[in-house]
Amino acid sequence: MYRHSYPKRVRYGETDQMGYLYYGHYPMLYEIGRVEAIRDLGVSYKYIEDELGLIMPVISVEAKYFKPAKYDEVIRIDTILQEMPGRIIVFHFELFNEANDLLHTAVVKLVFVDQKTNKMVRTPDYLTDKLKSYFEK
Amino acid sequence: MYRHSYPKRVRYGETDQMGYLYYGHYPMLYEIGRVEAIRDLGVSYKYIEDELGLIMPVISVEAKYFKPAKYDEVIRIDTILQEMPGRIIVFHFELFNEANDLLHTAVVKLVFVDQKTNKMVRTPDYLTDKLKSYFEK
Amino acid sequence: MYRHSYPKRVRYGETDQMGYLYYGHYPMLYEIGRVEAIRDLGVSYKYIEDELGLIMPVISVEAKYFKPAKYDEVIRIDTILQEMPGRIIVFHFELFNEANDLLHTAVVKLVFVDQKTNKMVRTPDYLTDKLKSYFEK
Amino acid sequence: MYRHSYPKRVRYGETDQMGYLYYGHYPMLYEIGRVEAIRDLGVSYKYIEDELGLIMPVISVEAKYFKPAKYDEVIRIDTILQEMPGRIIVFHFELFNEANDLLHTAVVKLVFVDQKTNKMVRTPDYLTDKLKSYFEK
């Protein structure tokens, strides 16, 4: 398992008139979480796109909202890879507020698509090599 | 069953550098779909909030992404209520492009919360009265 | 002069915890206004980009906020071209609420850039031809 | 003069299909810049709103776009107060990329409004006290 934490402060423009982080802004938090999680492994999403010629479309999101995130709170985005990615990469997210309340969970699945052929490919070695040590028994 | 269609054009600021509608903008499309679906019944979300003193937080989203939505395309947001709402209101969404390709589906669950007590309440009569004729056998 | 009106409803996700349209969403309204203004002339921004190989970066925005726009209000976006565009195209915007109060004005300047050479070019005939009748004495 | 720097990484969802930070996302960068600039003085915008009962609507934005900000770049947001705020608080912004190119400048004016009376008030002592040492000769 690979687990990574990253902070994100709730901005005014991200709240709605309920005074909460708008439900539609959570996917941006998943993006931040997963990009920073792989950056911490030494993997750059920009490199995947520019150098390996792959894009990573999201194929599904399953999200549960437990408690609201409020203005100016720093949310801890925990990004978890439970399994070595293959044809699909599955990110689990757990979001906590400063009081350590679990606010939100999500499971987001992405695939790798070759920009030239527009076909799905397996997770590149560039990423799996960096993950190996986290999944060896 | 109650089904409603509403168009939404993909704007430049909603695309990402893949040239597609950013995956995080779909929840805004669900908001547009469900608000317009109930407006067409004569029900105003603003009235629910301002006059009935209720808010409607989202409790879960399950979304599947099949094909990308592209810049300047008009997306048809189909909003479907399959069952009369009770403690939870369940919206199903189907999104189509101009070629009638199914791009995306989602199931979004919301509850009604009394702003004063901060407790969940059942779907108000104000809404169920307008829905009755769609769910009678 | 060419003047064009287009409606835009304020969505929940576009409000902030003041209950107003977030000040940072106005540039999206300018985008909607100018794209629909030229579409009404028979000019497609997508065509300018895809077929003429041009992009239209914004070079400046000057905006004044007089009154807030509120949730669920339909804002009328008036887009005005006061002069035939040359090296620069200058859009003026006036935003009104349903009570016809002037909420906001803006002046947004854009240029045309050739995607291949990355150099500025004059407004293409494709657009100026459609505008001629509005600027002849 | 008071000057403050804060980093902001450009996220995928903030780019558009030109591959650049969408022009409409810059106001969010100003928000981040000014809130962090005053936080560094020991001043909390949340406190101003919740405890002092004031809101701070933006009354004008003047922005110039020189060079695009690109995906995954860390933008340095420089927030500058050139004068002690009175009835109006004027923030100047200068945005730089990692190569230290000036990308963007903006001048954003805000006022303080009493939430109860809905009237403009002068900048509260809570803020001016913290700024004094930066503006004394």
Q: Report angle CA B61, D21, C26 to the nearest 5 degrees.
A: 75
**What pLDDT score was predicted for residue B137?**
64
| B137 occurs within a structural domain | no
**What pLDDT score was predicted for residue A136?**
78
| B68 occurs within a structural domain | yes
Q: Report angle CA A118, B92, B137 to the nearest 5 degrees.
A: 140
Classify B72 as helix, strand or coil.
Answer: coil
Q: Is the pLDDT of residue A137 over 80?
A: no
Task: For residue C111, report the phi and psi dihedrals to the nearest 5 degrees.
Answer: -125, 165
Query: For the CA atoms of D21, A127, A81, A110, what is the dihedral angle to 10 degrees?
Result: 50
Q: From the CA of B120, how many Å to the nearest CA of chain A?
A: 13
Q: Which two tokens stand for residue A51?
A: 């150098």
How many domains does chain C contain in total?
Answer: 1
Q: From the CA of A86, how many Å to the nearest CA of chain D?
A: 23
Sign of CA dihedral A99, A103, A105, A108: negative
Chain D neighbours, 3+ Cβ pairs < 8 A: A, B, C
- pLDDT tens column, D14-57: 999 988 999 999 999 999 999 999 999 999 999 999 999 999 99
**What pLDDT score was predicted for residue D91?**
98
Buried b (16+ CB within 10 A) or exposed e, D5-15: ebebebbbbbb
Tell me the CATH number at C112: 3.10.129.10
| B15 occurs within a structural domain | yes
Q: Is the pLDDT of residue B123 over 70?
A: yes
Q: Is the pLDDT of residue C137 over 80?
A: no
Q: Inspect the interface and report whether the beta carbons of B27 and A24 lie closer than 8 Å.
A: yes
Question: Residues of chain B whose C-beta is under 8 A from some C-beta in A?
Answer: 18, 20, 23-28, 31, 55, 57-65, 68
- Band (pLDDT 50/70/90 cuts) for residue C79 is very high
- pLDDT tens column, B59-79: 999 999 999 999 999 999 999
The residue segments making up the domain with residue A39 are 2-135
Of the candidates A55, A60, A68, which has its C-beta nearest B63's C-beta? A60
**What pLDDT score was predicted for residue D137?**
64
- pLDDT tens column, A27-82: 999 999 999 999 999 999 999 999 999 999 999 999 999 999 999 999 999 999 99
pTM, two decimal places: 0.96
- pLDDT tens column, A25-37: 999 999 999 999 9
Q: Inspect the interface and report whether the beta carbons of D61 and C57 lie closer than 8 Å.
A: no
Contacts of D28 in chain A (CB under 8 A): 11, 13
